[in-house]
Amino acid sequence: MIEVRHNFVWLVIPAYKAETLYSLEYFDLFILHDDGSESMIESFDEIRTAEELGLPIALEVDHMSKIIEKFTWKKQYTKKQKNGKRID
């Protein structure tokens, strides 16, 4: 599930997947708090506590403006390119 808070996009994941991702030590995971703040997860206990409290656990995706910019650029570029030729 995707969640947007303060123009920032998060990928919300289930707690059981969060534990697996956390153990890989590849992604930073965050707890999304009811007051709109977030905190980086630093232990398995924090994952379990978030789950007990019903708080979402998420991966950062990007700022919404950057996502829109990337999408817009790709869309414009794709329109201009077809079979290696520029299309106007």
**pLDDT > 90? residue 29:** yes
Going from the C-alpha of 22 to that of each of 3, 12, 41, 76, 77, the distances in angstroms are 20, 14, 8, 37, 37
3-state secondary structure of 57: strand
Judge if pTM exceeds 0.85.
no
Beta carbons of 12 and 56 less than 8 angstroms apart: yes
How many domains is the chain built from? Answer: 1
- Rounded average pLDDT over 39-50: 96
Report yes or no on 9 lying in a domain: yes
Report yes or no on 13 lying in a domain: yes
Report yes or no on 35 lying in a domain: yes
Domain range spanning residue 10?
2-63
Report yes or no on 72 lying in a domain: no
Helix (H) or strand (E) holding 34: none
Helix (H) or strand (E) holding 36: none
